[in-house]
Amino acid sequence: MSTPTTISPVDKLFVGGEWTSPASSKRIDLVTPSTAEVFTTIPDVTEADVDAAVRAARSSFDSGVWRKKSLDERIQVLSKVSELLGERIDEVAGIITTEMGSPITLSTKMQAMGSKMLLDALIELAPQYQWRDTRKHATGNALVEKEPVGVVAAVVPWNAPLQISIIKLTPALLAGCSVVLKPTPQTALNAFFLADLLSQAGLPEGVLSVLPADREVSAYLSSHPGVDKVSFTGSTAAGRKVAAQCGNDLRRCTLELGGKSAAVVLADADLDQVIPAIRALSLRNTGQVCSNKTRIVAARSIRDELNDRLAEMMRSMPVGDPFDPDVEIGPLASAAQLERVLGYIESGKSSGAGLLLGGDRPSDLGAGYYVSPTVFTDVDPNAKIAQEEIFGPVLTTHYFDTEEEAIAIANNSDYGLNGSVFSADVYHALDVAREIRTGTVEVNGNGGGFYAPIGGFKNSGIGREAGLEGFDAYVEIKSYGLPAEVVDTFA
């Protein structure tokens, strides 16, 4: 196994724009998934650290040190971050692969370069957002402005940590908010890396803190009276708790939660197009992406050919050392995640579904958290493995006789985050896609890009991120009643 340069223990926390000593001397061991070995340690965040971070954010917001800067000035700082990130793509990709096992090619292209592209897209969109509007009517005349929501707690999971940090931090900072970024301890290092870039780029003191906290301290942050808004990405179970607390406190929140997305393959679909799309969009990051299309819902007339092609595809995906650029399936992110995925595989075996491929652990990869790519076929749409988010390299196949049945299977889920439809007729595929109750549907494998919003229906969340709509989460709308001639000066 190869690893990047040894990472020294982290002794400080980034609080209010400064590297400061933590309130506690306790430490957390970080384990690299490829070897299951400890590779460094970080401070154990406490409620006292949260209090300090929120206090700094509140002070910076109320003082206006960032909030009162022009949009152009804020864009200048974020543009510098993009420049600095572009110079260190390989470094941060290596950090992420070490932290959570993402295959290095994916860490480079999606986790690092993709994060820069997302940052650039949000910077480009910011001037297009309608920060101000005027309304004239016989009943009165108004200037309507969008101002920053205040202090934001941005809670980020471990699977795509840099990208999800960017998708929250960028619109929040461009809107003028102050932010406490809360990554998981497992992926603290890339968050500290990003904090350092923001500091170098000229973000004023107090505006950003980074606290890699456990669930208990994270809950304390989300319910802190000094926080105005919680932006949470994670499991649906945890999201419910965040929403309940925010509802009790009347605190604003947006939630990007789990998914169990379906790829609908119509009878006329070109399998030469379908299979590469499933490879790219169903098994990304060793299956640990919430928008992965893990339920393959296909016409019964193509069942045998599709099964053969899926098995061939899975066998051709190299499994192993995530630092090998040819590897497509790396280790799962943690011992807990490995146990979870193996539990679902055993559930699939006992459910009566056919095991087309996999269902075990590779015998030649040592102590890392590896599981063989697995396909269950002819799965009951109500089975546990078809209904619950597995978050590993496990696919299920389901077959239909009519398109109405296909739509019903695709919609037979508590989730509604993502999906795909494949057909030789793209307009017909779009008609079918309109019947699927999800926030995004990719037609013939085409993604919407970083200008499009993402988010879910049903238990997949509340609100949207990215695109112009992504700014909505970080603003409050304020109306000013003014004389008509004054309103006209703002038009």
Q: Catalogue the active-site residues.
A: 256, 290
First to last CA, the chain: 62
- The rounded distance, in Å, linking the Cα atoms of 253 and 230 is 5
- The rounded distance, in Å, linking the Cα atoms of 402 and 454 is 29
Question: Which residue type, as a one-letter code, is found at position 283?
Answer: L
Neighbouring-strand partners of residue 267: none
Pairing of strands 13-15, 18-20: antiparallel
3-state SS, residue 453: coil
CA dihedral 183, 33, 384, 417 (to 10 degrees): 40
- The rounded distance, in Å, linking the Cα atoms of 371 and 161 is 22
- The rounded distance, in Å, linking the Cα atoms of 35 and 242 is 34
3-state SS, residue 11: coil
3-state SS, residue 468: helix
- The rounded distance, in Å, linking the Cα atoms of 367 and 1 is 11
C-alpha distance from residue 191 to each of 90, 97, 169 (Å): 15, 14, 11
- The rounded distance, in Å, linking the Cα atoms of 93 and 78 is 20
Question: How wide is the angle at C-alpha 335 spanned by C-alphas 333 and 337, nearest 5°?
Answer: 60
8-state DSSP, 201: H
Q: How many CB atoms lie within 10 A of CB 98?
A: 27
